[in-house]
Amino acid sequence: MYVVRITRADIGARVVIRRRIAGPVPLTDVIGTLQAWTAGVLTIEHANGEIISIPEGDLIAAKVIPPPPIRGAQRGQRQDPDVQDVEADR
């Protein structure tokens, strides 16, 4: 059973939305930040900057999800360049 678990109060949150689309596979998922929900249309910003508009009538399921995981190069970056890495100095 699908459930829409987001509201307008979730604007600014990272969400996953399952929606209807035309084509041989009638459903697809969108992950991004809920930017707006006005006049029956949700606006989602994908991580690559793409803006996706989804009519409320196409919603099948939706929920708020946690921030994306930290990937490869981001893990190795120092938070503060003034802090020395003790392990690197050994």
pLDDT tier at 33, thresholds 50, 70, 90: very high
- Both structure tokens of 41: 């249309």
Q: What is the residue extent of each domain of the chain?
A: 1-68
The mean predicted confidence, pLDDT, of the chain is 87
55 contacts: CB under 8 Å, gap ≥ 6 = 40, 41, 42
Q: 1-68 — its CATH code?
A: 2.30.30.520
pTM: 0.76
What was the pLDDT predicted at 69?
86
